[in-house]
């Protein structure tokens, strides 16, 4: 492999001797007119000269998008080593994927798997012990020509006969729910649109299911079409138009309700709450076809998740600790929750309880993150004592699956240098041992990768964890191209995970760094609160400090350091490069939020006001106004900048990227490229695997062309 990429390896390993390739000519950007549009907000006139770039379809905007894409394509397609890089990425992509964790229903095993040459994972069914030949249930690769249709979620009925699934196209996340009968192979005539991010929960007798969807157009005030979600009950064989609402009518527009079945399959619960706020729990019973709601845990301001097995409730709550704790309680005579008793899992002061699982109606598995690394502990609901399941190395448990009535668990484990691996473990064993079932295939020589975790100090003295991934032969002396990645928001933590592309980057001599910024959930709710709403500047300070630390420690130099983030992370890098244009040599600003004074007026972004604040509220406007990237880009010597967007993005409108690129093209005085890539067939991410790898290829060619090796 290293022989294949010998020219590229020389570029990396002989970095001090290689200067940045000089572009043949200065880039000529499309003409971008300015208007006199503005908003009056809290007594301030907010100029918006590029508002005309907000709608996607006007001919002028389409032409502008195409012209920007042409500039981008000419710049990255001409990179000399592009073909060699693609050959390596394509070989990795062709290896296929890994079977998903199994789902057991009706005496059958269901799993997804993406085979070699396929763009989407296929849903299969086989016998419970996999002795029978697997059969295809859903194959989205056959649904359209470019293989950009996908299954967003699927749920099998308890009898194993039906699969309810949500389908989307081109990564839009605008899904339609269908039902397939596995006995006949037919798709049932009933279907449901407006199910974006919706839930599906089957009734215990498989007669129907509960599901959530957005309201009919015109049934709610304009701008609330992606809020006001309701939970419905559908009985198989009936018309969807007759489905009764069982929860949500008259509730706050931004509230969400998540229906789920308890582990003993006997109780349907609904967790409800405003985004990123407290969570209440109710039990839903259908009495003579009518919903009856019974409060279980209400109004205490906590985020509490409840399960039940027999007469025992199991509770995951931050009522007493921001790092969460696990409790049990006995059901009262009327089915309520009795006195809570803490289960003493060894989380310590810094451990964060991630989740719990009831296994075999006897065991309680607890996933704890200790200093950003996963730990698994087992307790019995009947006997005292706690045991630990020894994981292969420091890393991340991504998901756990259980089989009703079975004492075994299946889980996915990975680290920066260990590919995704499925393990099985029997909790009935005195010393639970791991049995490896499968591992993600890869050409990356994982034994040659080195990852390290350390900490650095942010502006206010807070210690921030950071990971560095490199090849064992790469000297961390500042001569290697280095990418710093961050997110910092929405309780999304950065945990060790394997990435084929990042492994290749390290294998070729690059360094990849990931900072665990405030705003995530790495250290519980306090860590999140320290990076949201009025504390959002902490996140930007954390990321700037990470870049400075990499340079100060000699791991990177300014000229060969790139910063990268997507979505909320795109906002992150946009803010940081505005506040510190000297921070890095290149920037990848992916599917970003950038107009933070208008973001809440589009799609379902109003719910994000619970994370960022609401610009229509004066106090919260004062938090956001000083950092909103579109409104705070100075005329400056910017590094090379790449902004990306997807036209069918169901989360962040493409105009955020357009307006930011226009501002930076206007304000940059460095002569370095300011590029925009608009994927007119993509969403908040690539719509299939091939397009995802092509995006990586484009980004690497941009970075390798722009980073100043050895400076």
Last residue of a domain, one of 231, 261, 291: 261
Q: Ramachandran region of residue 96, left (φ > 0), alpha (ψ -120 to 50) or beta?
A: left
Distances (CA, A) of 33 to 30, 69, 71, 664, 666: 10, 18, 17, 14, 11
**604 and 469 within one domain:** yes
- pLDDT value of position 12: 38
Domain boundary among the residues 205, 236, 261 is at 261
Task: Verify that 75 and 156 share a domain, yes or no.
Answer: no
Report yes or no on 662 lying in a domain: yes
pLDDT of residue 682: 86
Residues 478 and 613 in one domain: yes
pTM of structure: 0.94
Task: Please report whether residue 624 resides in a domain.
Answer: yes
pLDDT at 337: 97
Whole-number pLDDT of residue 120: 95
- Residues 148 and 63 reside in one and the same domain: no
The rounded mean pLDDT for the chain is 93
Number of domains in the chain: 2
> Looking at the domain assignment, is residue 363 inside a domain?
no
Question: Are 206 and 183 part of one and the same domain?
Answer: yes
Q: Is residue 79 assigned to a domain?
A: yes
Same domain, yes or no: 571 and 598? yes
- Closest of 355, 335, 330, 360 to residue 345, by C-alpha: 355
Which residues in the chain land under pLDDT 50?
Answer: 1-19, 24, 709-711
Give the pair of three-digit tokens for residue 642: 């790449």
Task: Please answer whether residues 157 and 206 qualify as being in contact, where contact means their C-beta atoms are separated by less than 8 angstroms.
Answer: yes
Q: Are 208 and 233 in contact (CB under 8 A)?
A: yes
pLDDT digits 0-9 by tens, 497-509:
999 999 999 999 9
Same domain flag for 126 and 49: no
Residue 276 has a pLDDT of: 81
Question: In the prediction, which pLDDT does 10 show?
Answer: 37
pLDDT in tens, 337-373: 999 999 999 998 889 999 999 999 999 999 999 999 9
Q: Domain holding 151: CATH number?
A: 2.130.10.120
Residues 77 and 102 reside in one and the same domain: no
- Identify whether 177 is part of a domain: yes
| Domain membership flag for residue 331 | no
Residue 564's domain spans which residues? Answer: 6-17+26-92+444-706
The residue from 261, 293, 316 where one domain ends is 261
Tens digit of pLDDT for each residue in 269-298? 999 998 888 899 999 999 888 899 999 999
**Rounded Cα gap, residues 233 and 205, in angstroms:** 14
- Same domain, yes or no: 531 and 679: yes
Do 55 and 115 lie in a common domain?
Answer: no
Both tokens assigned to 620:
């919260």
């Amino acid at each position: 492999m290293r022989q294949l990429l010998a020219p590229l390896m020389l570029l990396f390993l002989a970095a001090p001797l290689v200067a940045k390739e000089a572009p043949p000519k200065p880039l000529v950007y499309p003409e971008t007119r300015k208007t006199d549009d503005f908003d009056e907000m809290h007594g301030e006139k907010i100029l918006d000269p590029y508002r005309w770039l907000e709608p996607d379809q006007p001919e002028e905007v389409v032409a502008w998008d195409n012209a920007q894409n042409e500039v981008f394509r000419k710049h990255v397609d001409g990179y000399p080593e592009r073909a060699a890089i693609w050959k390596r990425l394509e070989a990795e992509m062709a290896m296929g994927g890994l079977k998903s964790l199994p789902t057991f229903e009706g005496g059958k095993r269901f799993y997804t798997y993406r085979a070699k040459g396929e763009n989407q994972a296929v849903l299969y069914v086989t016998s419970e012990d996999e002795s029978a030949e697997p059969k295809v249930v859903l194959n989205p690769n056959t649904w359209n020509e470019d293989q950009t249709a996908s299954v967003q979620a699927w749920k099998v009925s308890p009898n194993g006969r039906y699969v309810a699934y949500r389908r989307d196209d081109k990564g839009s996340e605008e899904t339609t729910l269908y039902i397939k009968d596995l006995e006949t192979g037919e798709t049932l005539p009933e279907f449901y649109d407006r199910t974006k991010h919706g839930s599906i929960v089957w009734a215990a007798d498989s007669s129907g299911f509960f599901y959530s969807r957005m309201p009919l157009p015109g049934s709610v005030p304009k701008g609330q079409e992606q809020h006001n979600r309701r939970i419905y009950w559908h009985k198989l064989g009936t018309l969807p138009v007759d489905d009764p609402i069982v929860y949500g009518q008259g509730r706050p527009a931004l509230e969400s309700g998540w229906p789920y079945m308890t582990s003993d399959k006997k109780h349907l619960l609904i967790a409800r709450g405003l985004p990123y706020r407290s969570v209440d729990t109710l039990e839903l019973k259908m009495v003579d076809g009518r919903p009856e709601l019974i409060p279980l845990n209400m109004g205490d301001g906590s985020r509490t998740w409840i399960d039940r097995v027999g007469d025992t409730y199991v509770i995951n709550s931050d009522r007493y600790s921001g790092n969460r704790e696990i409790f049990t309680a006995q059901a009262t005579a009327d089915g309520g929750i009795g006195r809570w008793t803490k289960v003493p899992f060894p989380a310590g002061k810094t451990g964060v309880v991630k989740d719990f699982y009831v296994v075999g109606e006897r065991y309680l598995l607890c996933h704890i993150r200790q200093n950003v690394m996963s730990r698994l502990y087992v307790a019995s609901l009947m006997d005292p004592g706690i045991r630990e399941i020894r994981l292969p190395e420091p890393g991340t448990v991504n998901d756990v699956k259980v089989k009703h009535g079975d004492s075994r668990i299946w889980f996915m484990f990975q680290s920066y240098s260990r590919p995704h691996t499925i393990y099985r473990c029997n909790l009935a064993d005195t010393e639970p041992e791991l049995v490896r079932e499968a591992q993600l295939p890869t050409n990356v020589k994982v034994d040659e990768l080195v990852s390290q975790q350390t900490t650095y100090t942010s502006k206010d003295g807070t210690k921030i964890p950071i990971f560095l991934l490199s090849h064992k032969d790469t000297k961390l002396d500042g001569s290697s191209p280095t990418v710093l990645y961050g997110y910092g928001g929405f309780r999304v933590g950065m945990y060790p995970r394997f990435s084929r592309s990042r492994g290749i980057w390290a294998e070729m001599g690059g360094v990849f760094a990931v900072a665990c910024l405030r705003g995530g959930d790495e250290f519980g709710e306090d860590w999140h609160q320290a990076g949201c709403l009025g504390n959002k500047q902490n996140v930007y300070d954390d990321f700037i400090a990470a870049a400075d630390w990499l340079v100060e420690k000699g791991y990177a130099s300014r000229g060969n350091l790139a910063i990268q983030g997507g979505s909320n992370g795109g906002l992150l890098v946009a803010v940081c490069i505005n506040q510190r244009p000297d921070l890095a040599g290149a920037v990848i600003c992916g599917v970003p939020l950038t107009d933070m004074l208008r973001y809440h007026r589009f799609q379902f972004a109003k719910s994000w006001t619970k994370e960022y604040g609401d610009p229509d509220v004066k106090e919260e406007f004062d938090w956001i106004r000083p950092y909103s990237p579109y409104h705070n880009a100075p005329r400056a010597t910017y590094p090379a900048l790449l902004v990306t967007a997807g036209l069918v993005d169901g989360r962040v409108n493409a105009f955020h990227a357009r307006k930011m690129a226009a501002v930076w093209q206007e304000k940059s005085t460095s002569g370095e490229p300011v590029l925009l890539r608009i994927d007119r067939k993509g969403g908040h991410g690539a719509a299939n695997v091939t397009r995802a790898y092509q995006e990586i290829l484009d980004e690497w060619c941009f970075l390798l062309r722009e980073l100043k090796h050895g400076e």
